[in-house]
Amino acid sequence: MGNEWALVFFTSFVALGAGTFMAVGFNEWRGFDPKVRWSGAVAAIILLSLGGFSSVMHLGHPERIFGALGHPTSGIFMESSMIGLTALCIVAYLVALKRNAALGTLRFIASVGVVLAAILAFAVGDSYIMGARPAWDTLILPLIYLMTAVVAACFAYNIMHKPNLSVGDSITTKSLTLLALLVMAVLIIAYVVHISSDDFPDYSRSATRILSGDLAPLFWAGIVLVGIVIPAILALIKPANNSRSTLAIIALVCVFIGAISFRLMMFKLGTSVWQFF
């Protein structure tokens, strides 16, 4: 397995974890099923840990990681500190839950967590913006990373939700989900446009490669179909009783697969301006 797999999983799990906690935070303000608070937060922290674990897998010398503390500008510092802070926040939230803290406290902690999770999701993408790799040299990239988390949040929210959602809530949720997927779709299109307009054009990072080259299956099947179209259809289906979370789980898995596909594609496209060796 190539080196990028660790990073693919790292960023995908982080998106999923961040999204999950976003859903928990949302939940806090909408005030429903208290049972999902605990399981949602635990799921989020597990997903983030999986992400963190993946990223450590990728290091040659994880034992020297503390050296990173002294260099707060690096992407890794941002990523790991954001993971740390987000996780800390989630733990605080869990502790607060355990101690039956007041709703206000919980809401406050959760809100901070949502913001941190969003920053985390964005930061993980942001550290790939590099002049060295024209395919990565765009703000669209972290925005896509952020939107992955948001889309994941939408479905996670659906999973956590009580079976009987009010009509209003149901419409809001559905619209938000579709909106998120739409934004995602727009970002993906923007990304392909970005790819095809670089100063140092090369087939390895071309729209042709994405749309009809060796990356086409990954793009059309993984990113477009599984990552966006199927989740959108699942969001549109009017669920039978009790099947809401089943559909949402399927959708979330699709989103995760879409995230992995996108990241894989991104690594394949991420060739440097020259490659000496």
Partner 1 sequence: MVQKTLVIDLDRCIGCYSCEVACKQENNVALGDYYGKVLTVGPVGEFPNLQQYFLPTVCQECRDAPCVKVCPTGASYKADDGSILIDKEKCIGCRYCMMACPYGARSFNAEEKVVEKCTMCKHLTDVGGEPACVKACPAQARFYGDIDDPKSIVSQVVANAGAENVHSLPDRGNHPTVRYILHKENAEWQAIEPKETWREFHQPPRTEGENKNG
Interacting residues with partner 1 (CB under 8 A): 1-4, 58-62, 64-65, 67-68, 70-71, 73-77, 127-128, 130-134, 137, 199-202, 267-268, 270-277
Residue bearing tokens 């949602």 = 40
* CB of residue 215 to partner 1, shortest distance in Å: 12
CB of 10 to partner 1, least distance (A): 11
Of 67 and 104, CB closest to partner 1: 67
Least spacing, CB of residue 135 vs partner 1, in Å:
11
Six-digit token pair at 47? Answer: 């997903």
Provide, rounded to whole angstroms, the least separation between the CB of residue 242 and partner 1.
Answer: 43
Q: Which is nearer to partner 1, 12 or 127 (CB)?
A: 127
CB of 204 to partner 1, least distance (A): 8
Cβ closer to partner 1: 168 or 274?
274
Shortest spacing between CB 274 and partner 1, in angstroms: 5
**Which residue number, 91 or 130, has a Cβ lying nearer to partner 1?**
130
> Which string of DSSP letters, residue by residue, matches the chain?
--THHHHHHHHHHHHHHHHHHHHHHHHHHHT--THHHHHHHHHHHHHHHHHHHHHHHT-S-GGGGGGGGG-TTSHHHHHHHHHHHHHHHHHHHHHHHHTT--HHHHHHHHHHHHHHHHHHHHHHHHTT--TTSGGG-STHHHHHHHHHHHHHHHHHHHHHS-SS--HHHHHHHHHHHHHHHHHHHHHHHHHHHHHTT-SS--GGG-HHHHHTSTTHIIIIIIIIIIIIIHHHHHHHS-PPTTTHHHHHHHHHHHHHHHHHHHHHHHHHH---S----
Q: Which is closer to partner 1, CB of 4 or CB of 33?
A: 4
Contacts of 21 (CB under 8 A, 6+ apart): 40, 41, 44, 86, 90, 113, 114, 117
Q: What is the distance between the alpha carbons of residues 167 and 30, in angstroms, rounded to a whole number?
A: 14
**76 or 193, CB closer to partner 1?**
76
CA 18 to chain centroid, in Å, comes to 6
Min dist. Cβ of residue 214 to partner 1 (A)? 13
Nearer to partner 1 by C-beta: 59 or 179?
Answer: 59
| Closest distance to partner 1 from the beta carbon of 111 (Å) | 29
Question: Among residues 130 and 225, whose Cβ is nearest to partner 1?
Answer: 130
